[in-house]
Amino acid sequence: MKITRKTFDECMFPCYNPQDFVIAKAKGVHVYDTQGKEYLDLTSGIGVNSLGHCPKIIEKTLKKQSRRLVHCSNVFINDKTLELALALKAKTQYERFFFVNSGAEANEAALKLARRYAYDVAGEEKDEIIAFDHGFHGRTFFTVSVGGQEKYSSGFGPRPGAITHLPFNDVAALKAAVSSKTCAIMVEPVQGEGGVMPASAEFMQALRACADEVGALLIFDEVQTGNARTGTLYAYEQYGVRPDILTTAKGIGGGLPIGIIMTSTQIASHFGPGTHGSTFGGNPLICACAIEVLKVISSDKFLHGVQERAQLLHNLLEKVGEHTGMFSEVRGMGMLQGAILKPEYAGQAGDIMRFLAGYGVLVLTAGGNILRFAPALNIKKSTLKQAMKLLEQGLLNYKQVKQV
Q: Which of 230, 158, 153 is nearest to 189 (CA)?
A: 230
Higher-confidence residue of 217 and 1: namely 217
The pTM assigned to this predicted structure is 0.97
Average pLDDT over residues 351-370: 97
pLDDT tens-place string over residues 237-251: 999 999 999 999 999
Q: Report whether pLDDT(403) > 80.
A: no
Question: What is the rounded distance in angstroms from the CA atom of residue 34 to the CA atom of residue 32?
Answer: 7
pLDDT tens-place string over residues 84-107: 999 999 999 999 999 999 999 999
Average pLDDT over residues 374-382: 98
**Per-residue pLDDT, 404:** 58
pLDDT tens-place string over residues 133-148: 999 999 999 999 999 9
Name 346's Cβ contacts closer than 8 Å, sequence gap at least 6: 368, 369
Q: Given the DSSP bridges, would you call strands 96-100 and 259-263 parallel, antiparallel or unpaired? A: antiparallel
Q: Report whether pLDDT(175) > 90.
A: yes
What percent of the chain has a predicted confidence (pLDDT) above 70?
Answer: 100
**Per-residue pLDDT, 402:** 82
Mean pLDDT of all residues in the chain?
97
Question: What is the rounded distance in angstroms from the CA atom of residue 25 to the CA atom of residue 38?
Answer: 10
Average pLDDT over residues 319-343: 98
C-alpha distances in angstroms, 93 versus 67, 96, 97, 217? 32, 9, 11, 17
Question: What is the rounded distance in angstroms from the CA atom of residue 341 to the CA atom of residue 215?
Answer: 41
